[in-house]
Structure 1
Amino acid sequence: MDIKHLEYFTTIVENNFNLSQSAKTLLISQPGLTKFIKEFENKEDVQLFVRSKGRLVDLTPIGKEFYENALLVLTQYNKLMEDLRINKETIKGTIRVGIPPVILTVLFKKAIPQFIVQNPNIQLEIVEAGAYELQKMLLLQEIDIAFLIDPIITNNIQSKTVVEDQAVVVFNKNHRFTNYEGPISYSNLANERIILLNSTFMIHHQIKKNFQVANITPHIFFESGAWDLLASMCESLDIITILPAPIVPHYSENTLLSRPITPYFSWTVKICQLENVYHSHLVEFVEEFFIDFFKN
């Protein structure tokens, strides 16, 4: 028996066991209501109603107890649904969301406008900073939510994946890698002049670690906090950079090419909250919005 069936049962009692009137109230057929009663009593091997000459006239002792419990369940259910509707309609306030610059530029140019249009009562404050700074701000509760690149090195942070992609080697059409069809290994990069995002970006430290594991010392001669500057330099110079794959289509029309790296270089974005603290309905609502946005 589900909520709908509990409503059937209590409506019959409230209409003085008049099945015809109960069926009209419930907008179902009387034979359907009669069938429901019979099937439920047979299935549960109980008798809820006292019958006289084939008509329902009262509740049995078991039926009376069941009726009292059914009213309690329905009251709780109706309150639950009412609270849900109220929260959905009245949710408002200000929320501070931390986003690293590269993620903000690449992933959020559609997500943020859509959020603002759909939620005019919520003030979205974007804090743009590097991964380490955002993790510190999250721990100090200076921001409510942060979008961070995996791995997340700070304890007490809970996370959910929103985007799964990879980092790639980026170069111009005249570079020798244009003729490569498969993934590029770190040994292939050993003699390349490389420009990278600076140490405020998590991907910087991942790249350095991957070269170290491959026992290769890369020729890194320039670092910047602006991915568009790196892309522009690759466009005009015989150099390479390593960037998240979603960046490449955002730069310019067919001026840059990219190849995946082997071993596979994962680039995963997670939405993060501080663990073991109370999170308001507003925080949960915003988190759910962005998870659904990127899922769809």
Structure 2
Amino acid sequence: MDIVQLSYFIAVVNCDFNLSEASNKIHLTQSALSQFISNYEKRENITLFLRKSNRLVGLTKSGEIIYKYALDIVKNYEEMTIKAIEAASISKQVIKIGVPSLILMVYFSSMLPKFKEKYPTIEFKVVEAGSYQIQQLLIKGEIDIGIILGPTELKNDMFHQVLVHSSDVVAFIDQEHPLATENKIEWNSILDYDIATFNSDHSIYKLLNKKIKTLKETKQITYTANAWDYLINLTRGTNIITFLPELIYQFIPHQSIMYKKTVAPLAFDIYACMAKNRDEQNKHNIYDDILTIF
């Protein structure tokens, strides 16, 4: 018997050997069901059922053995099918990670290929955006994991938030800049110079703008851009001060560019965030892996 025929046999037993009831349950004509039983018994030379007046009334010893194994076989087949469907579903799983451009370059360029190797059935989609937008996407449930520059505005009771990196925002200047000899730059000293940093949707812009407004209400950030290399090049041979995270320095090829820390520096904190209602194990595993790369 194949798996379908085994289910027919089980249905007959479960319907108290009533062929009419069993045939209705399995959507097969009674004559076809009766023919199946007769053909099997003749082919295998086994009597499955006890009969009385041409009616089925019970199982023979052989029938009891087959019934016992049939239950296990059908159960295992159903479990196998469910697992296969789940595996197919997992193979189509997409995990979306929101990452600011700078963090994507520094950390994720080498990390994503390793994730793909470790989780071959998962498709990773990176959403490149600013920290504020990433927070909004997390709140709306449109991404699974967000890498956010602090401070965040997410609620602790709704989101996992782990500080994975902490450093400073520093002042990048040309080596001939008037402030190049300073050990640390006083904030009041920068007011006489043009200032450059990331665009206004970036958290560093917001922190820097808030800081300089406390020093001089009319002072403006002069140059903004998304590209850190452009912002660095603005300082070459000029007195422009570009404020960027300290970790940028490792990627700067120009020896003429230096950086200076400020007194009471602005913090550059990176948080890995995920909604607490995300119960899929794969997402938790990937989130935990992300925590280890910083």
TM-score after normalising by structure 2 = 0.64
Give me the whole-angstrom Cα distance separating, in 1, the residues matched to 2:121 and 2:257: 41
Residue 271 of structure 2 corresponds to 270
Measured at CA, do residues 284 and 206 of structure 1 come closer, stay the same or move farther in structure 2, by a change above 3 Å? same
1:261-289, CA deviations, whole angstroms, 9 ceiling, x for partnerless residues? Answer: 211321110001124x2331111111111
- Cα offset for 1:92? 8.2
Contact 1:159 1:272 in 2 (8 A): yes
Give me the whole-angstrom Cα distance separating, in 2, the residues matched to 1:114 and 1:178: 41
Residue 198 of structure 2 corresponds to 197
Q: Aligned partner of 2:272: which letter?
A: I
1:188 counterpart = 2:193:
no
Contact 1:172 1:255 in 2 (8 A): yes
Contact 2:161 2:272 in 1 (8 A): yes
Structure 2 unaligned spans of 5+ = 1-86
Residue 96 of structure 2 corresponds to 96
TM-score after normalising by structure 1 = 0.63
Contact 2:213 2:219 in 1 (8 A): no
Measured at CA, do residues 208 and 293 of structure 1 come closer, stay the same or move farther in structure 2, by a change above 3 Å? same
Secondary structure of the 2:112 match is helix
Contact 1:195 1:241 in 2 (8 A): yes
Contact 2:163 2:270 in 1 (8 A): yes
- Cα offset for 1:228? 1.6
Give me the whole-angstrom Cα distance separating, in 1, the residues matched to 2:247 and 2:151: 18
Residue 146 of structure 1 corresponds to 146
Map residues 105-184 of structure 1 onto 2, 5 A cutoff.
105-155=105-155, 156-181=158-183, 183-184=184-185
Contact 1:96 1:145 in 2 (8 A): yes
1:280 counterpart = 2:267:
no
Q: What value does the CA root-mean-square deviation take over the aligned residues?
A: 2.2
Give me the whole-angstrom Cα distance separating, in 2, the residues matched to 1:217 and 1:111: 43
Secondary structure of the 2:247 match is helix
Residue 13 of structure 2 corresponds to none
1:85-129, CA deviations, whole angstroms, 9 ceiling, x for partnerless residues? Answer: xx9xx9983210000112212232322233233333332110001
How high is the sequence identity, in percent, across the aligned residues?
23
Give me the whole-angstrom Cα distance separating, in 2, the residues matched to 1:212 and 1:220: 10
User: Is 237-246 or 90-99 further displaced after alignment?
Assistant: 90-99
Structure 1 unaligned spans of 5+ = 1-86
Contact 2:274 2:287 in 1 (8 A): no
Q: Aligned partner of 1:278: which letter?
A: R
Q: Report how many residues are paired.
A: 204
Give me the whole-angstrom Cα distance separating, in 2, the residues matched to 1:169 and 1:202: 16
Give me the whole-angstrom Cα distance separating, in 2, the residues matched to 1:112 and 1:188: 42
Q: Aligned partner of 1:95: which letter?
A: I
Map residues 1-296 of structure 1 onto 2, 5 A cutoff.
93-155=93-155, 156-181=158-183, 183-215=184-216, 217-275=218-276, 277-294=277-294
1:21-45, CA deviations, whole angstroms, 9 ceiling, x for partnerless residues? Answer: xxxxxxxxxxxxxxxxxxxxxxxxx
Q: Aligned partner of 2:199: which letter?
A: N
Q: Aligned partner of 1:161: which letter?
A: L
Measured at CA, do residues 236 and 108 of structure 1 come closer, stay the same or move farther in structure 2, by a change above 3 Å? farther
